[in-house]
Amino acid sequence: MNPFLENFKTALNAHDKDACVRLIHEGLDANSFRLIEAYEDILSKAMADVSSSQLDPRHKIWDEHVKTQIVRTVLESLYPIVMRTPEILPTRRVALVCPEGEYHELGLRIIADVFRLSGYRPYFFGNSLPKFEIKDLITSMDFAYVVLSASNFYVLPALNASIATINELRPDLKILVGGHAVNHNHDAIHGNNVTIVTTLEELKILLTEEAR
């Protein structure tokens, strides 16, 4: 059991934003964990618990929103540290997109920082990017990857439509997909040049292999 994760989850469940920010920064300052471990072992796992709670009939939307905003604050507080990583080649751009109708974007925001720490320049487009904007985005910028995320099961058709648009415009472009809905419905994802990534560890392995 990771004591830092457990302490963070306790503070998060208590809706204590100050404690959550303090725990992460104190751990980093004391070299108790590395920055990437803060993302992999604490923040992503805490958010996974928040996402899985949506299936609980006792789930409270207000509780989810408060916790999401707390983690968002933690992420923004970490970005000055993320910026200290080496300069990025301009050819290593990554688009991180929530398809139209998907409003749970924080998991993708975490992944954006992981890409930045891995030497890529992430372009995070927030929640619910309209379908017609996907086409304009792909034709306006050159990306090494497009990452699509779906936490809401009802968004899977929009995700597949986005994949189809990308396949049509850029058949060579690598597409990564993830999120709570994707992780539980692999067979529902259709398209070419698509890799399903269920954990940050899988993403790190993929990026390491690509760098060889």
Least-confidence region, from 16-20, 127-131, 193-197 = 127-131
CATH class of 3-82: mainly alpha
CATH class of 93-211: alpha beta
For 20-54, write each residue's pLDDT tens digit: 999 999 999 999 999 999 999 999 989 888 766 56
For 99-124, write each residue's pLDDT tens digit: 999 998 998 999 999 999 988 999 99
Backbone angles phi, psi at 96, to 5 degrees: -115, 115
- Burial grade of 139 (CB within 10 A; 0-12, 13-18, 19 or more): exposed
In this structure, are residues 95 and 126 in contact, taking their beta carbons and an 8 Å threshold? Answer: no
| Dihedral in degrees, nearest 10, Cα atoms 111, 51, 102, 106 | -30
Mean of the pLDDT values across residues 6-27? Answer: 96
